């Protein structure tokens, strides 16, 4: 076990469980422990030998942890935990409220810097590798336009909105990229597209006994903000079908840069993800980022960082020499 990067997990929801799974695929890491606000008896780690502790014990375990991965939510947990824990640990988190990232960075940066820690914020896929590709697209093709399409993906917020419609017993919503729009962009076009033109919304709904399908459909497709401005398809299914076919937290999307390097010469770069499990992929990114954070801390690069600050070779378990010889 000597020499392994000791990772700990703060928060054990879907993301925290994904981090547990991801660590098993990275032989240069070990899982030092899971920290949760829930009683230890309610946490079932994937490996029975993994220590489970209360969140309040973190402070006294600082010398046992190289990098702490924060798996709490962006709304309630991270705004408090991020700055607090970056003062005690090297951290990685997936803070994903895009509009509040500058404010969050400003809170985490001094905490990490003053205590000589490295704190990577807003890692994952969006924000994360998608952000990387948006910046890369503009840098490589300055004369161009960037498009981010999401889907096919299960949207938690829209699924919740469906479940609040009277007459709905259960529901999920998938965001799907509009194929026509993607094809226009892939061909090197630079259309002006609104999010509504770039995406469709497909709903799978279980009706309550006696509910009228047409009334429910009408309530959904006219719902302001969530559905009214989008092309929305509503499918009615049974409770059994919902349970059987719609449990996976699939997601994904496309970042496409369409640009021109000389008159008439178009260049298109595209990065896409097709994810069988959104939280497990996000967790895999966080774990690779933990490796980079550990190395950057060793290089005394203290303070809050984002994925833009990481030389990507540091994400790989391979040495720079191996990467040059085998991957370049």
Q: Which of 149-157, 221-229, 238-246, 256-264 is the region at the interface with its own copies (rule: CB under 8 A)?
A: 256-264
Q: Please confirm whether the linkage preceding 131 is cis (ω < 30° from 0).
A: no
Choice between 56 and 321, CB closer to its own copies: 321
The verdict on whether residue 123 carries a ligand-binding annotation is: yes
Flag whether 2 is marked binding.
no
Nearest to 272 by CA among 149, 170, 153: 149
Q: What span, in angstroms and rounded, lies between the C-alpha atoms of 177 and 251?
A: 11
Q: Residue 310 interacts with its own copies (CB under 8 A)?
A: yes
Which residues 96-115 are close enough to bind its own copies by CB under 8 A? 98, 101-102, 105
- Give the one residue of 132, 200, 203, 290 binding its own copies; rule: CB under 8 A: 132
Contacts with its own copies by CB under 8 A: the residue count is 68
82 vs 174: CA distance, rounded Å: 31
Pull the structure tokens for residue 137. 């697209």
- As measured in angstroms, the least distance from the Cβ of 243 to its own copies is 17
Sheet holding 153-154, edge to edge: 153-154, 168-177, 199-207, 231-236
DSSP state letter for 249: -
Residue with tokens 């070990």: 30
**Is the preceding omega at residue 152 within 30 degrees of 0, hence cis?**
yes
CA 40, 123, 326, 133 dihedral sign is positive
Q: Is there a binding annotation on residue 248?
A: no
Q: Is 74 known to sit in a ligand binding site?
A: yes
Q: Which of 129, 161, 207, 293 binds its own copies (CB under 8 A)?
A: 129
Q: Considering the complex, state which of residue 1 and residue 139 has its C-beta at the smaller distance from its own copies.
A: 139
How many Cα neighbours within 13 Å face the side chain of 65? 29
Q: How far is CA 203 from CA 16, 79, 163, 179, in A?
A: 28, 32, 11, 18
The answer to whether 288 contacts its own copies (rule: CB under 8 A) is yes
Site for its own copies in 171-230 (CB under 8 A): 186, 188
Which residue ranges make up the annotated binding site for substrate? 150, 175, 201, 251, 278
Binding site for its own copies (CB under 8 A): 18, 21-22, 25-26, 98, 101-102, 105, 122, 127, 129, 131-132, 134-136, 138-143, 186, 188, 248, 261-262, 264-277, 280-281, 283-285, 288, 291, 306-313, 315-318, 320-321, 323-325, 327-328
Which residue ranges make up the annotated binding site? 36-38, 71-74, 94-96, 123-127, 150, 175, 201, 251, 278
């Amino acid at each position: 076990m000597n020499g392994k990067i000791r990772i700990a997990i703060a928060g054990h929801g879907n993301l925290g469980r994904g981090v547990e799974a991801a660590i098993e695929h990275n032989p240069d890491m070990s899982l030092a422990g899971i920290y949760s606000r829930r009683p230890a008896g309610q946490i079932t780690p994937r490996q029975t030998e993994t220590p489970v502790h209360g969140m309040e014990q973190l402070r006294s375990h600082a010398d046992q942890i190289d990098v702490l991965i924060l798996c709490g939510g962006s709304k309630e947990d991270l705004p408090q935990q991020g700055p607090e824990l970056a003062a005690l640990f090297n951290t990685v988190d997936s803070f994903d409220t895009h509009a509040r990232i500058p404010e969050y960075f400003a809170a985490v940066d001094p905490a990490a810097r003053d205590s000589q820690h490295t704190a990577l914020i807003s890692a994952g896929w969006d924000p994360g590798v998608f952000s990387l590709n948006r910046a890369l697209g503009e840098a490589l093709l300055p004369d161009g336009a960037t498009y981010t399409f999401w889907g096919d993906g299960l949207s938690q917020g829209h699924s919740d909105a469906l479940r609040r419609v009277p007459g709905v017993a259960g529901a999920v919503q998938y965001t799907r990229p509009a194929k026509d729009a993607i094809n226009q962009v892939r061909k090197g076009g630079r259309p002006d597209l609104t999010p509504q033109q770039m995406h469709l919304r497909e709903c799978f709904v279980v009706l309550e006994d006696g509910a009228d399908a047409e009334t429910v459909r009408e309530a959904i497709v006219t719902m302001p903000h969530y559905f009214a401005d989008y092309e929305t398809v509503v499918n009615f299914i049974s409770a059994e079908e919902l349970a059987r076919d719609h449990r996976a937290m699939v997601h994904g999307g496309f970042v496409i840069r369409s640009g021109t390097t000389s008159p008439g010469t178009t260049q298109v770069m595209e990065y896409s993800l097709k994810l069988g499990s959104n939280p497990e992929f996000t967790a895999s990114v966080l774990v690779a980022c933990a490796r980079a954070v550990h190395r950057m801390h060793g290089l005394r690069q203290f303070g809050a960082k984002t994925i833009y600050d990481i030389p990507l070779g540091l994400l790989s378990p391979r040495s720079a020499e191996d990467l040059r010889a085998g991957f370049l």
